[in-house]
A and B are shown apart, each in its own frame.
Chain A
Amino acid sequence: MSDEPLFGPPSLRFRPRSLALLGAGGVLLLVGVVARDPIPLFAAVPLLLAPAAAALAGPKANPKVDFRWGETGSGAQVSIAGSVRPDRSVHPGDLVVELDRPGGLLEQGPVRYAVKEGALEFTASWAAPEPTIALVGAPSVVWRDPAGLVERPVDGVSGQLVVTRYPPELLRLGAVRLDRTTVLPGETRSRRIGATGEFFGIREAEPEDPPRRLNWRASARVGRLLANEYALERTGDVVLLLDARPSELGAAIDERLLSIGRAAVDGIAESFLRIKSRVGVAVYGEFLDAVPLSTGRAHAFRIRNALLRAHLAETPGPSERCAVAFRRYYPPGVTTIVLSPLADENGRALVSHLRRRGYRVVVLSPSPLPLLLGPRLPAEDEELAARLARLERRSQVARTWRVAPAIDWEEFRSLGGFVEFLKRPTTRRIS
């Protein structure tokens, strides 16, 4: 049975269960009258009266609630916890909270509910098996009578949560030297404080600081953990291009690869923005959706919004269109990281067109193999198929290498290989 309300005024809504109950009561009433038998009439009385009684016993206006929620957890664990505290007109146990789980997150167990100190508390345990950036919309909260016959929406529930999970190695992206794109007269270098460069000072250690960054001697002297800070003067530009075109892999795999790419773009952009580099982000499906080069905290929000609205295109746009549109937003010569699964010729064509227009392209290619093969040990025949798939994948990446450096990203929890490449670009010749 659907949960959609069937009829009633905009606020109070009778659920389909009410109509079913009235129908059952009506049939009993009819049978009783036709058969002149009062026993069905007695059975019908509660069924006929229950919906009206439930409505009369409920609140006379939409209840107001104090709604609070947040996201916790680390790594693959995502925990959404919150509380709904209603006004005195309703009991918190009669509130029904329904969370919409975004596609990139998996459910680990049912949502837990508990009534504590006049509030309904809920906890959802989800898992992010792959890097992801997901938007969790405000839950649907309604008052529903204990029998589930009528319901009312509540006032005061709003907001969204952004869940981001991307590889921890992104913190080390600060060591990457970006090439200048435009040499302007009087250009000044921006100084950044971060993990690399010359020693700058000491600050309180943060949980994400790696052990080698801690200043153990200073920590021993003062009795609390302190970390070193380093200063590096730099100015650089980077553009991240996310290929959101459908491929031969099918919509389901394409969606997951796009989700992984979206998370990687968000993480890489945030890492470069942290060191005050200018970052541009473009998503190409059928047409180019570009966020121009800029820096700052507001720009990080612009990028995140662009990524959250990115979706898989229904029709793949031609690669040349992307390259032509790309020139309108970004100057040639800028370091361009293309995130494409390289599942077909479209990905390579895109890289080729960008190279021809003067962009320094590096391809980070989320591999579809972990999604296609799965984590389980395959059977003997499937093992052969897996080996063939790996050979084919290696060939695809190698063909891309003829045009631009391409990093095969198969271990989604780590971007170590990509970071290492950016820090020390290979001497391999690119024709």
Chain B
Amino acid sequence: MTTKSPRPSARRFGWAGPALAVVSLGWLGVASGLPEEGGAVLAAAAIGIGLVLRSAPASSGREASWTPIAVGLGILAVVSPLTVLAELVAGLGGLAVIVWMIDSPDRLAGGIGRGGLALALPALAVGVAWASSFLLPPGVASVGIAAAVLALSLAALAFLLGRPDLFDRSGAATS
């Protein structure tokens, strides 16, 4: 009979993810225009649940603490009125979810520095998408971005399924 030792519990809380989530979800919540400050309440609830899960003693709770943020972001992104700034903040919200994971209390400090490249690629993609949306005429930009993201995702999926060696240069066990 064996039992696994847990990961270090709450060496530090890691405030970068929550801070970014507060900024992005808070802005979307306020700007959503839902009646009776519904957007702000929704953002606060999502962040609150996420923080509670993040500080939970059970590792499964900490592991899933980003999900309320993603759900809250999704809802607020759908109900928010279309503005150029809202698009940028929604992208920032997506990045906040990634930072929330990277700056997890379950991992050793300095994750943002070590995961800089993994964070930079999505950030660059958001930047390019937002810049094109900002510069292109309205209407064309939406369709263009949707088509581009969809095509890119499908192409990436097909490419990755066909080329696992892109990620893995280790020899196969049977070779």
Q: Which residues of A contact B (CB under 8 A)?
A: 1, 8-12, 17, 20-21, 24-29, 31-33, 35-50, 52-58, 60-62, 91, 93-94, 96, 98-103, 107, 110-113, 115, 120, 124, 137, 145-150, 255
Contacts and interface: CB of A to CB of B under 8 A. Distances in A.
B169 A33 contact: no
Pick the 3 closest A-B CB pairs, nearest first.
A146-B115, A46-B94, A46-B122
B139 to A, nearest CB: 9
Given A21-B70, A42-B94, 18 more contacts: A12-B167, A12-B168, A28-B74, A41-B145, A43-B74, A43-B90, A46-B123, A47-B97, A50-B118, A50-B122, A53-B122, A54-B118, A56-B167, A57-B121, A110-B6, A110-B8, A115-B108, A146-B111
Contact of A37 (B2, B82, B117, B156): B82
A397 B165 CA distance: 67
B111 A46 contact: no
Interface of B: 1-9, 11, 60, 63-64, 67, 70-71, 73-74, 77-78, 80, 82, 86-88, 90-91, 93-95, 97-98, 101-102, 104, 106-112, 114-115, 117-123, 125-126, 129-130, 133, 141-142, 145-146, 149-150, 153, 156, 160, 164-170, 172-173
Contacts of B94: 25, 42-47
Given A39-B80, A53-B121, A60-B169, A99 B126 contact: no
Nearest to B11: A113
A212 B17 CA distance: 63
Given A29-B149, A39-B86, A145-B115, A100 B122 contact: no
A46 B98 contact: yes
8 contacts: A1-B64, A29-B149, A36-B142, A41-B145, A45-B94, A56-B121, A102-B2, A147-B102
A9 B90 contact: no
B114 A146 contact: yes
A288 B73 CA distance: 64
A60 to B, nearest CB: 4
B98 A147 contact: yes
Contact of B63 (A1, A47, A53, A98): A1
Contacts of B119: 53
Contact of B77 (A10, A43, A107): A43
Given A61-B170, A147-B98, A12 B146 contact: no
Given A29-B149, A91-B114, A46 B125 contact: yes
Given A38-B133, A43-B93, A8 B164 contact: yes
A93 B102 CA distance: 12
Contact of A146 (B6, B107, B164): B107
B78 A37 contact: yes
A96 B109 CA distance: 13
A48 B98 contact: no
Contacts of A56: 117-118, 121, 166-167
